[in-house]
């Protein structure tokens, strides 16, 4: 089907509202994406027609809910090209998935083992590993980045050794938009026998990862970045690692047999899915996957690259404006400051004109420390944004600059 931007925008009811008397221009997609009517309808349908607990009931509603939930798992497996559906673990989101893996490795790592993280990680891909090191005595090492916001691959190669047990890198930087060379990162880590976790929270709305081709050990993402609901995500865990790691939580569903003397655990995926899950969220995640694929990721990528190029050119025409993250491989994020003006002040003014951008350190404070800045203004684009909305952003930033100078 042809890429029809107006037809796509009509699928998103929130895009027709006004903010402060102005048409909403939503450019905070890296924080969360908006939801199409198709996903909203899926949520309403679940609670209206077949709300029930899953995997446990023989009655009709339970069977219908179970079938829909497991069908969503299958959709997600197919979308990401995981080898098996049971390698897809439903989680509460990216952070939950990372902590699940970190908890498992707390029983595997020993003092002196080394783990590697990149300099451009979100706090959720830094703090759990620091906690892991404190608990186990492992050593955290950091891949540096350069002024363009690109990881220094040669330094990464120097960090790798037989002591390296784990490598953690985001697929795309939420603060800079940099697309990291995860294929090479995974390959080099595997050469020394290290496992790799990729944080895909910022990538999966823009590109379609092939998990078998990547040969990654763990991959995490959140539905709400992909037009789905909040409170649900997935952890892809390669079968061999799923069998090695201990359960993250104890409770119902994740057991095979329980006595007061001993408990045996269920196999994948239930081993890591204790308790009643976000059933509606999982089903709606499947609906969001269907929606994105109906548009097509090639068209999404092409349109978003056009938005990125146009926004970069227009914003750089503003005197004193500097963009952070200027590497050759980027997705649709423009993170910038204007000399002498605090990013929060710009964000506040453009909001009065109906434009939603993010300001601050974007939960990536080490990046801001690297550039010696308090934060940035971040405009992050989605496939439903338009060139006219980019013009509105540029005009609003110009107005903010004039008012604040």
Mean of pLDDT values over 306-318: 98
How confident is the model at residue 60, as a pLDDT?
A: 96
How confident is the model at residue 79, as a pLDDT?
A: 98
Q: How far is CA 51 from CA 37, 44, 348, in A?
A: 20, 10, 41
Dihedral sign from CA coordinates of 113, 117, 119, 123: negative
pLDDT digits (tens, 9 = 90+) for 8-25: 999 999 999 999 999 999
Mean of pLDDT values over 218-222: 98
Residue 121 pLDDT exceeds 80: yes
Cβ-based neighbour number of residue 77 at 10 Å: 19
Please choose, from the candidates 189, 24, 47, the residue with its C-alpha nearest in 3D space to the C-alpha of residue 115: 189
Q: Which residues have C-beta within 8 Å of that of residue 41, sequence separation ≥ 6?
A: none
Q: Model's pTM, two decimal places?
A: 0.95
How confident is the model at residue 394, as a pLDDT?
A: 98
Q: Which residues pair with 322 in a beta bridge?
A: 337
Three-class secondary structure of residue 295 per DSSP = helix
Q: Could you tell me what percent of the chain has a pLDDT over 70?
A: 98
Positions of E strands within 154-232: 164-170, 195-199, 218-222
> Which pLDDT band, with edges at 50, 70 and 90, does 251 fall under?
confident
Paired tokens of 4? 């029809």
Round to whole Å and give the CA distance between 101 and 342: 38
Residue 380 pLDDT exceeds 90: yes
CATH class of 5-30+297-404: alpha beta
- In contact, 302 and 347? CB cutoff 8 Å: no
Mean pLDDT of the chain: 95
List where CATH 3.90.1150.10 sits in the chain. Answer: 5-30+297-404
How confident is the model at residue 217, as a pLDDT?
A: 98
202 or 250, which is more confident: 202
Q: How far is CA 110 from CA 100, 106, 162, in A?
A: 18, 8, 14
Architecture of domain 40-293: 3-Layer(aba) Sandwich (3.40)
pLDDT digits (tens, 9 = 90+) for 333-348: 999 999 999 999 999 9
pLDDT digits (tens, 9 = 90+) for 123-137: 998 999 999 999 999
Paired tokens of 24? 């909403």
- In contact, 253 and 273? CB cutoff 8 Å: yes
Secondary structure letter of residue 176 according to DSSP:
T
Residue 269 pLDDT exceeds 80: yes
Active site residues: 363
How confident is the model at residue 72, as a pLDDT?
A: 98
Mean of pLDDT values over 96-125: 95
List where CATH 3.40.640.10 sits in the chain. Answer: 40-293
Per-residue b or e along 315-342, where b marks 16 or more CB atoms closer than 10 Å to that residue's CB: beeeeebbbbbbbeebbbbbbbbbeebb
> Which pLDDT band, with edges at 50, 70 and 90, does 258 fall under?
low
pLDDT digits (tens, 9 = 90+) for 37-89: 999 999 999 999 999 999 878 899 999 999 999 999 999 999 999 999 999 99
How confident is the model at residue 247, as a pLDDT?
A: 85
Positions of E strands within 290-375: 321-324, 333-338, 355-356, 358-360
pLDDT digits (tens, 9 = 90+) for 185-197: 999 999 999 999 9
Round to whole Å and give the CA distance between 118 and 196: 12
């Amino acid at each position: 089907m042809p890429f029809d931007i107006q037809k796509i925008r009509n699928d998103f009811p929130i895009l027709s509202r006004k903010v402060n008397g102005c048409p909403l221009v939503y450019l905070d997609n890296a924080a969360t994406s908006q939801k199409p009517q198709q996903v909203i309808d899926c949520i309403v349908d679940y609670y209206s027609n077949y709300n029930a607990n899953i995997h446990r009931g023989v009655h009709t509603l339970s069977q219908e809910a179970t079938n829909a939930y497991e069908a969503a798992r299958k959709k997600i497996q197919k979308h990401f090209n995981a080898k098996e559906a049971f390698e897809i673990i439903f989680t509460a989101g990216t952070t939950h998935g990372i902590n699940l893996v970190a908890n498992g490795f707390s029983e595997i790592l020993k003092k002196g083992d080394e783990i590697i993280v990149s300099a451009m990680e979100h706090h959720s891909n830094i703090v759990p590993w620091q906690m892991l090191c404190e608990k186990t005595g492992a050593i955290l090492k950091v891949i540096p980045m350069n002024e363009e916001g690109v990881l220094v691959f040669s330094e990464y190669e120097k960090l790798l050794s037989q002591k390296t047990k784990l490598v953690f890198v985001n697929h795309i930087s939420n603060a800079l938009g940099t697309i990291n060379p995860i294929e090479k990162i995974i390959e080099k880590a595997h050469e020394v026998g290290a496992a790799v976790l990729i944080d895909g929270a910022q990538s999966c709305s823009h590109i379609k990862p092939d998990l078998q081709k990547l040969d990654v050990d763990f991959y995490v993402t959140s539905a709400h970045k992909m037009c789905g609901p909040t409170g649900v995500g997935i952890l892809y865990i390669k079968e061999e690692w799923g069998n090695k790691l201990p359960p993250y939580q104890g409770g119902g569903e994740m057991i095979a047999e329980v006595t007061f003397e001993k408990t045996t655990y269920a196999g994948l995926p239930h081993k890591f899915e204790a308790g009643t899950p976000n059933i509606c969220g999982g089903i709606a995640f499947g609906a969001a996957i269907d929606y994105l694929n109906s548009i097509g990721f090639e068209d999404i990528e092409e349109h978003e690259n056009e938005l990125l190029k146009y926004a970069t050119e227009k914003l750089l025409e503003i005197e004193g404006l500097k963009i952070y993250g200027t590497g050759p491989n980027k997705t649709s994020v423009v993170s910038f400051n204007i000399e002498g003006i605090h990013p929060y002040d710009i964000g506040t003014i453009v909001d009065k004109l109906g434009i939603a951008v993010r300001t601050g350190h974007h939960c990536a404070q080490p990046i801001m420390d690297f550039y010696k800045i308090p934060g940035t203004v971040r405009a992050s684009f989605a496939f439903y944004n338009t060139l006219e909305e980019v013009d509105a952003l540029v005009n609003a930033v110009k107005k903010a600059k004039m008012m604040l100078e």
